Structure 1
Amino acid sequence: MRLVSTFSIAGFDPGTASWGVAVQSKFLAVGAIVPWARAGAGAVATQAMANYTYGPRGLELLSEGRTAQETVEALTAGDPQREHRQVGVVDAEGGSATFTGGGCLDWAGGIAGEHYAAQGNILVGRETVEAMARAFERGEDDLASRLLAALRAGQEAGGDRRGRQSAALLVVREGGGYGGDNDRMVDLRVDDHPDPIAELARLYGLHNLYFGETRPEDVVAVEGEVRREVASSLRRLGYLREESPDERTLHAALSAFVRTENFEEREQPPGYADRAVLEFLKDRAASR
């Protein structure tokens, strides 16, 4: 059995009915083992001498209406290696529980608070999970951002005493996935990187860029100086040839860029554009 020594946090956001897990470890591809979540049921983080079945079994128990504590007890009760396991759970109502077996390597432990369970093993000390708990409690952003903030705080407080290698972020919400026919709102992994949390945050920024909703205040009229910059950038990238394109030609070129870069979720009617897309267009053109 492989040892998944790491720190993680499972969390719930009642405002958006979202559940998720964030994790970091000195372990290759930790996202393939630790984080599990299902909309309407809850979230599970399984680590230490990880019992992979804690993930799917835990979600089934939560789907049956078990509380986080009941789920932890059911998972560990029949496990002869439970003293070497670590698991954190949040349930459908945001109840939380964390378990650390007595055989886990120091420092090992966890904190179960309102809507979250933070835990870790082979850590510098308890301050890692305490910092994660404080960061989550104080967070006011979306669940994914709060989970990431907790990871950063844990790392800054010492983190895994062996170092860093991989990280992952999983957030689910009913209908929150691509196309609206699944619950995986965010599912990002950094399998091998010298600074996995920073890289995970970068990927989450890209995720928001590609799949985030355009706020009304971020819709920009393509006119005046904005129009000149858009036309210049599109010409530099080869989407436009005319020096003075008419509105139809300019919109067609901008639409081609938007679809090539997978920004369909942010495409606007003729004469308007998403501010984030315009910034991306400007930066991409400047790099040529």
Structure 2
Amino acid sequence: MTFSIVARSADGRMHGVAVASKFLGVGALVPAAEAEVGALATQAHANLAYRPQGLAFLRTGLAAADVVAGLLAADSGRAHRQLGVVGVDGPGATWTGPECHDWAGGQAGDGWAVQGNILAGPQVVDEMRDAWLGLADQGFAERLLGALRAGDLAGGDRRGRQSAALLVVARGAGYGGGSDVLVDLRVDDHPDPVTELGRLLEVHTMLFGRPDPATLLDLTGALADEVATLLAAAGHPNDGGDLDARLAAWAGVENLEERLVPARIDPLVLAHLRRQA
């Protein structure tokens, strides 16, 4: 009922899962990931106990293939299960039980595994693999989404579309540095969930992405004057506070505080301020 990719970033810092299905709220059931540990997807007749058990195995340093073997060994329903696992290093691993509904199968390589069941055909997995391998120049979350989109365009779940999800973890990469969850986006019930997931990722990147130091602009001279004028037009007039304080007050309302740098401005923040004003 589902197709997914589990993967590790090239530098080993990030782990993630992207998944789509003709099923309500697939993101609540299939993916699991832990920073500096690994990621997994449990699907078909999903065994939700695989999520905590699989992560526990990965914490001990077991290879992905050994994690799969350990989970299946204790499960009398393994013939109906589908599973993908990736750890902190080495190849990913995938399992498709012989009683999963056609078409069902998976592939795995260094740091990734793709799998699906009730698919339009094997081309879904093939296209996901090719997209993952071919998008190495993109950001990790965008690369996962690109693989999911390729599977969707290749036919995806042969019953149709309903939900999709994207989960990415990395140590200290969450909001304000206070968690390890970098991205946790879900589309629970939508006629085109993978496209909607892409839109949400764009919004997420805008609001919570960290600024690129190479693109930051100094808040001096004419630019500082423009920003002051724009802030006044947006409802934050000069009340005697410095420009950074006024910019922070506006950014807090717009949920852009993760992109603030003292005495400088992110071009994405500047563009949004210009639109608002």
Same topology, TM > 0.5? yes
Matching of residue 212 in structure 1 with residue 200 in structure 2: no
Contact 1:28 1:191 in 2 (8 A): yes
2:93 paired residue among 97, 119, 129: 97
1:83: Cα distance to partner?
1.1
Instruction: State the Cα RMSD in Å.
Output: 2.1
CA distance in 1, matches of 2:188, 2:198: 14
Query: In the alignment, what sits opposite 2:188?
Result: 191
Give the residue type in structure 1 aligned to 2:40: V
Query: In the alignment, what sits opposite 1:274?
Result: 266
CA distance in 2, matches of 1:192, 1:157: 21
Mapping 1:116-131, distance limit 5 Å: 116-131=112-127
Aligned residues: 276
1:255: Cα distance to partner?
2.4
Give the residue type in structure 2 aligned to 1:282: R
1:224: Cα distance to partner?
6.7
1:11: Cα distance to partner?
0.3
Query: In the alignment, what sits opposite 2:164?
Result: 167
1:132 paired residue among 124, 128, 134: 128
Query: In the alignment, what sits opposite 2:252?
Result: 259
Matching of residue 60 in structure 1 with residue 56 in structure 2: yes
Moved more, 168-177 or 215-224: 215-224
CA distance in 2, matches of 1:122, 1:225: 59
Contact 2:176 2:258 in 1 (8 A): no
CA distance in 2, matches of 1:101, 1:211: 39
| Percent of residue pairs bearing the same amino acid type | 51
TM-score (norm: length of structure 2): 0.92
Give the residue type in structure 1 aligned to 2:119: L
Contact 2:15 2:169 in 1 (8 A): yes
CA distance in 2, matches of 1:207, 1:16: 22
CA distance in 2, matches of 1:283, 1:22: 32
Q: For structure 2, which runs of at least 5 residues remain unmatched after alignment?
A: none
Give the residue type in structure 2 aligned to 1:198: T
CA distance in 1, matches of 2:227, 2:180: 36
1:274: Cα distance to partner?
1.2
TM-score (norm: length of structure 1): 0.88
Are the structure 2 counterparts of residues 204 and 168 from structure 1 closer, same or farther at C-alpha, using a change threshold of 3 Å?
Answer: same
Query: In the alignment, what sits opposite 1:146?
Result: 143
Query: In the alignment, what sits opposite 1:46?
Result: 42
Matching of residue 110 in structure 1 with residue 103 in structure 2: no
Moved more, 221-230 or 48-57: 221-230
Matching of residue 70 in structure 1 with residue 66 in structure 2: yes
- Give SS of 1:8's match: strand
